[in-house]
Structure 1
Amino acid sequence: MAQYYVTYTDGSEQHIPADKVHFAADDGHYVFTTSGEPTAFTPRIGVLSIVRMPEPSQFKAVTG
């Protein structure tokens, strides 16, 4: 499952685990889903960014 970090214009942040996120234009908010079911909603107003972090299994070790 992916991890999303939402940053708001007031400087606050929120961590949301979900498979996908999409913008619901008719409702004016972002919808985070897991297994096709909505798990979280974030209003469009005040969102600065939504960043998807790699899943832990995708992390690579750095050697040098």
Structure 2
Amino acid sequence: MAQYLVTYTDGSEQHIPAESVHCDTDNGQYVFYDGDRNIVAFALYIGVVSVVRVPETTGKAVSG
């Protein structure tokens, strides 16, 4: 599952595992969904600086 990095105005960060995010302007929050469109998290958008999808890594570590 993908992850989103939420950064807040106080400098704190939160990683949220989710497949998608929606900005719900009627309720003042971001809503995070899994692959089946089930809600997995909420974040009030007051105090949020950014919501960034973290790239997924699909490769395996290679040692030389």
Give the fraction of aligned pairs with identical amino acids, expressed as a percent.
59
Per residue, is there more helix in 1 or in 2?
1
Cα distance in 1 between the residues matched to 2:4 and 2:51: 7
Q: TM-score, normalised by structure 1?
A: 0.85
* Aligned match of 1:12: 12
Q: TM-score, normalised by structure 2?
A: 0.85
Q: CA RMSD in A?
A: 1.6
Structure 1's unaligned 5+ residue stretches are none
* Aligned match of 1:27: 27
Per residue, is there more strand in 1 or in 2?
1
Greater than 2 Å deviation, 4+ residue runs: none
